[in-house]
Amino acid sequence: MSGARPLIALPGRCAESAAGLRTEVIAAGARYATALERAGAAPVVLPPFDDLDDAAALARARLVLARVDGLVMVGGADIDPARYGAARHSKTEGLDQRQDAFELALLAAAIADDVPVLAICRGMQALNVVLGGTLLQHLPDDAGRQPHRKVHHDVHLSADSLVAAAAQAVDISGHSVHHQCVDRVGDGLRVTGRAGDGTIEAVELDHGWVVGVQWHPEDTAHDDQHQSALFEAIVERARAKMP
């Protein structure tokens, strides 16, 4: 991979402890950073903002993202359904108001300022929510729907989509670890990938380079060229933005 390494941000998450460290930590999954490094980027982990209202968080996010070249939104716990006007389902868990405010602000800032985005799993769901969409809070366990949690399954991509161009294929297999999915699609988003049971697996914005995937390409990027190509695509788009 030739050329300078673009800086690509990963949102960090606060945790109470980690092996070998005495105090609280801010962390992001190593597989995302490894996939980005392999693709030619320099990943940076962003600490969650202090408690801020949405307007202040957006202003902070725009300031931070002005100093990087791209953004990868990562997987994680469920988004508070109050963010999309829904009551909480009994299966919805792990809510973190600070994390939601932080990540939604990053996405809003990236969209406003044309920062390339690859949004993965929770990241894709957050992308949908920030654009006014809703989520199905728990995939029903019935005969008409395939398993989506901790399984590899096939995804069919629209041939004319950014994600298919990035993955260099229209039929791929992805590793999924989710129990929620996009329901009503957010404003300006186009559905560009589905699983065999109809579950929305990929979306993209109608302008810029903003792609969401419901599976986890970082899990298999080390030995699946279609998954590694997704990271290479955002790196190339981010590099094109560099001065």
Residues noted as catalytic:
121, 216, 218
Minimal CA–CA distance to 101: which of 82, 124, 75, 121?
Answer: 82
The phi, psi pair for 63, rounded to 5°, reads -65, -45
DSSP β-bridge partners for residue 210: 117
Minimal CA–CA distance to 174: which of 191, 158, 155?
Answer: 155
| DSSP state letters, 29-72 | -HHHHHHHHHHT-EEEEEPPPPS--HHHHHHHHHHHHTT-SEEE
The rounded radius of gyration (Å) of the Cα atoms in the chain is 17
